[in-house]
Amino acid sequence: MAEMTYAEAIRDGMRQEMKRDRNVYLYGEDVGIFGGCFGVTAGLFQEFGPERVIDTPITETAIAGSAVGAAAAGLRPIAEIMFVDFMGVCMDEILNQAAKMRYMFGGKAKLPMVIRTPCGAGFSAAAQHSQTLEAWFTHIPGLKVVMPGTAADGKGLMEAAIRDDNPVIFIEHKVLLGAKGEVPEGEYLVPIGKADIKREGTDVTIVAWSLMLSKALAAAESLAQEGISAEVLDPRSLVPLDKEAILNSVKKTGKLVIVHEAVRTSGFGGEIAAIVADEGFDLLDAPIKRVTAPDTPIPFSPVLESAYIPSEEKIIKAVKELF
């Protein structure tokens, strides 16, 4: 094991797969010489050269569209869209081409492509550069959606995503990029669709992903000091979702709190709540609670932004309302 930041771990996952398979290449705005807007791709241009780490013009439509064509032709592109907020610019290529091509060709075409994109508030980047939009992509059949919350999962899910023969939306949280953790060296894969219990507990299940995982774990630590044992479950991938792991945890605890940074209305937490209500209603001893951002654009003001982002205190409050 080596200690790496979240950004270094994701980079190492890409490096491992680029060394293993010459069909893997990386491209996007400023990913090459500059090393990426957030430094995630630093050094890969020097290691693999301009034919496999390619700086593109500022055109999300071309980035996503060329990834679809390259993947259908047998390559394994890793395309970076600089902010998840800009994914709307290339949504036609994602929604109507990447997600549907394998199905419409009767399974004869493969689309082994990864779109990396950072999400999240916390830098006072305001409403157009701070959103968390995973629910958009979970609503599109044909896409896989992963959101690692730790450095190790960042590396393992990246390697698994690159090897997958379907398009994968890989969403990285900007605030996590400098967070450190122990990461296996060499080849390391985390299966897409397999949740992970980050903390065992008996009284309440907290489901959280991406940055909210660390806040859920901090809340669980505080709750433990008050005699409440919280189990923290990280789905890691939202599509496919490990429903069995969630239901098994709720069966054990009888209570469920879902935490995500995205706004509440149509957020993916509502889907998890619906699954548990539909398939595990008898497991519940109390109503399902959600801790989310409010249904507003993200404010620029640091004070307002801090109030906007779900906090450890809000998670603790939601848990206590169940007892």
* CA dist list (Å): 296 to 60, 150, 162, 309: 26, 28, 34, 11
In this structure, the strands spanning 230-234 and 196-199 are antiparallel
Torsion angle of the four alpha carbons 87, 163, 213, 322, in this order, in degrees rounded to the nearest 10: 90
Burial classification of residue 23, based on how many CB atoms lie within 10 Å of its CB (0-12 exposed, 13-18 middle, 19 or more buried)? middle
The per-residue DSSP string of 33-82 comes to TT--TTSTTTTHHHHH-TTTEEE--S-HHHHHHHHHHHHHTT-EEEEE-S
CA distances to 174, 261, 303 from 306, in Å: 15, 12, 5
Q: Among 153, 51, 65, which residue's Cα sits nearest to residue 115? A: 65
What are 259's strand-pairing partners?
A: 208, 291
Give 129's Cβ-side CA count (13 Å radius).
10
**Angstrom distance (rounded) from CA 245 to CA 196:** 8
* CA distance linking residue 142 with residue 96, whole number of Å: 10
Residue 139 is a catalytic residue? no
Which of 27, 1, 318 has its CA nearest to residue 155?
1
- Active-site annotation holder among 129, 139, 173, 260: 129
Cis peptide before 310, with omega less than 30 degrees from 0?
no
Could you tell me the two tokens for 69? 């064509």
Pairing status of strand 256-263 against strand 204-208:
parallel
The residues assigned a catalytic role are 129
